[in-house]
Amino acid sequence: MEKILDRFLRYISVDTQSNEESETQPSAMKELDLLKMLCEELNALGIKAELDEWGYVMGTIPSNLGKDVPKVGFIAHVDTAPDASGKDVKPQIIPDYDGGEIALKGVDGLFLKPSEFPEMRDYIGQTLITTDGTTLLGADDKAGVAEIMAAAEYIMTHPEFKHGEIKIGFTPDEEIGRGVVKFDVAKFGADFAYTMDGGEVGELEYENFNAASAKIHIQGRNVHPGYAKEKMKNAILIGMELNSLLPASQRPEHTEGYEGFFHIISFKGSVEEADFAYIIRDHDTAKFEHRKKMLREVVNFINVKYGEGTATADIKDQYYNMRLQVEPHYHIIEKAVKAMEMAGVKAKIQPIRGGTDGANLSFKGLPCPNIFAGGLNFHGKMEFVPLESMEKASQVILNIISLFAE
C-alpha cells in the first residue's frame, strides 16, 4: 500500500485554491486537476468512479456481505481557502517533534511557536508536516482526501475485510460555501455519510453555525476638499461608522463555544463609494435571525442620518445548523465514537465554529456529521498536520465501515 504521507504530499502539490469571485462551478478550473487525478486513482484501484460536469467525483465499492446493511459514504473537498496561496506548496516534514519552535524556512525569522500555538505540545514525538511560511499547507482538506483514499486502497487490497456498500465523494468549492450546491444526493446513493474535514485528532461534530454573508455598499458624495463643508459624504468614514455600530464584543476574536459573531472580512473604497463584506454566524436560529435584523437596523440608521440610499445591504443565507437533521439518526454519532475508541482515540464532541459540506448535505437528506482530518491552524501559513493524526483518521474510516457491516 502507498503510504498516506506520500498521498498527502502528492495532493498538496496541486494548486486547487477556489475563487469566490467566479460564477463557474468549479469556481477555478485548476481544481479539476486534482479531481481528475482522484477519479483516475479510484478507477486504478478497481473502484468504479466518475467525474461529473460540476466537478464532483463519486465512486462506489460494492458490498462483499451476504446481507443488506446501510450504505455509508465518506466525503472530502479538494479546494483550499482563498485566504492564502496554495500554489507551489513546499512542505516541511519534522520527524520526532521535540516540542520546540519550528523555523518556517521560506521566510526569514518566521517560526511556528508552541508559545503561540500550545496545542503543538500535544504532538511531541510525532511527525509534523508544516508549511515553509510562504503558503498554506492544504491539510484542509487534502488530509481528508488522503485518509479516504488510503482507506479505499486498504479495502481493495484486503478482500477479507468485510464491508457493506461504500460511497466515496470528492467535491470542489467548499471553502467558498458552494461545495455541494449541485451535489446529487440520490445519485451518490448513501444512506449516511461523514465528511472528513475536522481539525485536531478526536474531533466529532454534528452541530455547526447558521451562516449568512452580507455585502454592504456605501454611496458617498465626493466634493473638492477645499469646498466640501456641508456637502461631502465620505463613504469610507460612513462605512467605518456603520461598522462601529455593531457590538465589538461580538467579533470572532472575542467569542468561543456557542457564541456567534459579526466578522468583517473585506473593505475597499474611496470617498465616493465603499464596499464592506461580512459573515454572520450563530448556532442558535433565533439569535441568527436577530443578527441579520440588527445589521439591517444599522443600515437603516445610516440612511436616516445621511440620506436614503446611502447604505444598502445584500444579506444571503449560506448554510444552517445540521443538528436538526443529524440528531434523529444519533446512531451514526455513536458509531463514530466507537470507531474512534477502537483506534485508541478519545472522541471530542463539540460544535463546529464554522461549517462543512456536511451541513448542506444533511439538509439535502443525507445526514452527514464531521470527523477530524487532523490538521490545525487552517487557512494560513501556520497550518500543520501530524502524520499520526491522518493515520488515525483513516483507521477510524475503516472502523466505521466495520461497525456498519455488523
Which positions are annotated as active-site residues?
Answer: 79, 174
Using CA atoms, how far apart are residues 391 and 297, in angstroms rounded to an integer?
A: 49
Sheet holding 128-130, edge to edge: 92-94, 128-130, 384-386
- Rg, the chain, Cα only: 23
Cα angle, residue 355 at apex, residues 353 and 357 outer, rounded to 5°: 155
Beta strands, E only, 65-185: 72-77, 92-94, 102-103, 111-112, 128-130, 166-171
Task: Please report, for residues 211, 233, 278, 359, 387, the alpha-carbon distance to residue 177 in angstroms, rounded to integers and kept in the order given.
Answer: 10, 35, 14, 11, 28
Place of cell 477510524: 396
Nearest-10 Cα torsion for 298, 299, 300, 301: 50
Instruction: Tell whether omega for the bond before 26 is within 30 degrees of 0, i.e. cis.
Output: yes
Using CA atoms, how far apart are residues 60 and 148, in angstroms rounded to an integer?
A: 13
**Which residue from 152, 188, 161 is spatially nearest to 404, judged by alpha carbons?**
161
What burial letters (b/e) apply to 252-287, b meaning 16+ CB within 10 Å? beebeeebbbbbbeeeebebbbbebbbbbbbbeeee
- Whether the CB-CB separation of 26 and 32 falls below 8 Å is answered with yes
Give φ, ψ of 254 to 5 degrees. -120, 15
Q: Count of CB atoms within 10 A of residue 154's CB?
A: 16
